[in-house]
Structure formats: C-alpha cells, structure tokens
Structure 1
C-alpha cells in the first residue's frame, strides 16, 4: 500500500452524539464520489458511526472533546481515520473479553463485549487501532471494480440511452 495518496479530507466535530451523523454523511459523500457501491457505502457509514460513537462514549466520558475524521483517497481504496485525544483503552483486553460472537450470545452480552469493534472489523477490509495520546482507528475499504466486471458489466461496455 505504498501508492500515492490522491486527496485528503479532514473533518473536526465535537465529541457529542448529535454530530456523529455529520461524519457519516461526509464519508458517504466521499465514498460515493469514488464509485463505491451502495452496500459498501452503508457498511462504511456504520463503521464510521461506531468509531465516532466509541470516541464520544469512552474517550471523553461526556466531557468536552473533539473527534477528527480524515479520509485519505487512493485510486483503489479509501482510508478513514477516526481520532480522539481522550482516554485510551487496552485493545488486547477488549479482544480477549469479546472472544468469538455467536448466534447464541445475548444482545446485552454482545453490547458489553465490544460489538462496535466487531462491526468495524467485519464491515471494513482492514482495521488498525493505535493507542497514543488518544485513539486512532484506521479503517480501509477497497473499491471492488472487478466484482462488477466479473458479471460482464464493465464501465466501458455499459451504455446508456439518452
């Protein structure tokens, strides 16, 4: 992943629940412009909302703070960083506590065990969490142009009648 970054977009929002939707919309707009599918955009919106909500709920514990959402645009992927400067957490403790989530797990048990992290890891192609003077969640999603082309529909062969 040493390809040159094409564009960079940064958004700073207050660490309050009512501003999480703005981060979702911003990432949605960038992903749409890049050509991601509707389902991929919905996945990204949910993952970004989970990362922002974790910052709101855990980093600042209801106090004042700010969340930075940065979109790094490459030709084949988007990288979304959600950063806070609040309280960190022990990622290994979370991973140990969450363990595998099964269909037999109760919803309350799943919520207490890190469902947000599980969703981010499930919905995105790569998730990396760095803990240093806050938390930086880096989520990557690749554009799947080859999936469309495998069905015989390529951007060059698709014609519209206007």
Structure 2
C-alpha cells in the first residue's frame, strides 16, 4: 500500500536569519520532486513571504516565538504550511484594507503586508489562511503538467 504523502516538518525561531535555511530546504525538496527552476523560485518567494509576515507580525519583540513549517510531498503537488502561535494581525481587517488587487493600482500605495499576501496568492496555485491562536498559511503548488491537466478538467466539466 502506497503512502499518501511524505511529510517533513521544521521549526525555526521567529527571526529573519533563519528564512534562508527554509529556502534552501524548500529548494532541495522541490528539485527532488521535479519542479522546474521557475516554479522553485515561485515557491521560495511565496514561502519566504509567509515566513517574513510571521517574523514581522506574529510576536512582540520580547517574545521568543517560533514558526512551524510543514512540507507535504504528493506525486502531483507540494503543500507547504507556515504557522505561528503569536497574537499576530487581524486577518479580516488586513484583507479588507488590502482589497482586491487591480492592475491599475499603484504598487507603491499598497499597504504593508498587502504586497506579501498578493505575492503568495499570485505565485501559488491554492492558498488558504486560517487564524486562531496565531496564523496558519497553507500553500499548494502543483507540478506543471499536473496543473495543466487539472485546469483542463475544470474547463471541460
């Protein structure tokens, strides 16, 4: 019986100097799975943004917070979870402030954090954000061929 997926989990201090460690790990995982160089770059940018948001907003300066990163490796996709347990920001308020992105919007005027969320949603195939005791960001990236087939199935049904 075949496993549903392989799961790798890492926990880092909520400090910017550890983001590179996760980027290197992610690059190795995605490369091993067969992602293209461009898709690996997209993954690294999106995951870095999610971790940066946690580093900057989840914990008070006095707190020694941690960030949990989980990688679920499937045959057709990579799912990445970034979770913090800090007080963090109000998700609904942030999404209202950011509003829908429009091509004519001046990128300089986007609120802090808004660009990070926009990048994550633009670069990943699926993004889910859960807020409870902290914020958890679930990001999915499909292997290129699988994504094309999936989109074709959606259109034909």
Deviation at 1:111, TM superposition (A): 4.2
Judged with a 3 Å threshold, the aligned counterparts in structure 2 of structure 1 residues 96 and 11 are, in CA distance, closer, same or farther, namely same
Three-state SS of the structure 1 residue aligned to 2:117 is: helix
Max Rg structure:
1
Gaps of 5+ in 2: 149-157
Is the Cα contact below 8 Å between 2:76 and 2:142 reproduced in 1?
yes
* Separation of aligned partners in 2, 1:20 and 1:31: 16
TM-score (norm 1): 0.82
TM-score (norm 2): 0.84
Verify: 1:17 aligned to 2:16, yes or no: yes
* Separation of aligned partners in 1, 2:146 and 2:137: 27
Is the Cα contact below 8 Å between 2:59 and 2:88 reproduced in 1?
no
Judged with a 3 Å threshold, the aligned counterparts in structure 2 of structure 1 residues 80 and 112 are, in CA distance, closer, same or farther, namely same
Deviation at 1:27, TM superposition (A): 1.1
Residues 89-129 of structure 1, C-alpha deviations (whole Å, 9 max, x = no match): 33222222112334544444224261111110000000001
Judged with a 3 Å threshold, the aligned counterparts in structure 2 of structure 1 residues 130 and 147 are, in CA distance, closer, same or farther, namely closer
Partner of 1:159: none
Partner of 2:35: 36
How many matched pairs? 147
* Separation of aligned partners in 2, 1:147 and 1:99: 27
CA RMSD of aligned residues (A): 2.2
Structure 1: 4+ residue segments shifted above 4 A: none
